[in-house]
Amino acid sequence: MHKTTSLKVVTLAITACIVASCYPTRFVSTHGAPMPAETVQGDDWYRDKMYGEYDTIVKTSAINDGMTIKVPRKFCESGKLFSVEYKNTFGGNLLYLFSFGTRRKVKIKYVCMLPDL
């Protein structure tokens, strides 16, 4: 009985951790306009927007003060950002944990602005 309850608590805690760690944070411009999608796809905020994704592992060290990522030209004709979404994943958290903070998985989704005509 005690064992079953503990298992439930652990399962619940892991589930909560997974759900919480996947929640995206999105920074959105209040001016400019997003590049529209050619065809609507998906069922989320990006349905009518053209977006790009950037998935990488950042290596950190004492002499590294961070990482600068240049906006790729693909999906970004204007080179100007309309929104940037950062998503923490459960796997990313585990990597960070087991690499003692030297590796961090970064998943970024971005939408660019319409170019000036």
Partner 1 sequence: MATTSELPVGQWDTLHENGPFPLQRQFITRHESKATMPGRVARYNNAADEIRRLIKECHDNNEGFRAYGSRWSMSKVLHQKDNMHQNNLMYLDLEVDPGDMHQDSPYLAENVFFFECGNTIKLISQRLAEYGKSLKTSGASNGQTIAGCISTGVHGAGLNIGAVQDYVVGLNIITGPQPGDIVYLERHTRPALNDAFAHQINARVIRNDTLFNAALVSLGSFGFIHGVVLEAEDLFLLNRYVKRVDKNVALSLSKTLDFKNSTFSIAKEVDPDGTPAIPWHYKVFVNPYVNDPDYVIEVMYKKPYTGAYPDPFTKIEKSIYKDLIYLLIKFSEKFPKSIPWFIKRLQSSILPEITKDEEEITATLYETFWDAPYKGPAFACSVGVDIADSEKALNALVTLTKSNPIPGIFAMRYVKKSDATLAFTQFDTTCVIEIDGIQWEKSRKMLSLEEYGRLMIQTLQTANIPFTVHWGKNMDWAFPNLVQDMYGSKAQTWKECRSWLLSQEMAQLFSNEFLATVGLDDFISVPPHFIQSLNIHGNPAT
Q: Which residues bind partner 1 (CB under 8 A)?
A: 28, 30-33, 36, 38-40, 43-45, 47-48, 114, 116-117
**Which is nearest to 71 in space by CA: 23, 30, 115?**
115
Plot region of 51 (φ>0 → left; ψ -120 to 50 → alpha; else → beta)? beta
- Which lies closer to partner 1 via its Cβ, residue 42 or residue 101? 42
**What minimum distance in Å lies between the beta carbon of 68 and partner 1?**
27
C-alpha of 80 from chain center: 18
Q: Which helix (H) or strand (E) holds 9?
A: helix 2-21
| HSE value, Cβ hemisphere, 13 Å, CA-based, for 78 | 18
**What minimum distance in Å lies between the beta carbon of 23 and partner 1?**
11
- Which lies closer to partner 1 via its Cβ, residue 37 or residue 71? 37
- Which lies closer to partner 1 via its Cβ, residue 32 or residue 96? 32
- Which lies closer to partner 1 via its Cβ, residue 53 or residue 77? 77
Which structure tokens are listed for 94? Answer: 């585990």
**What minimum distance in Å lies between the beta carbon of 25 and partner 1?**
15
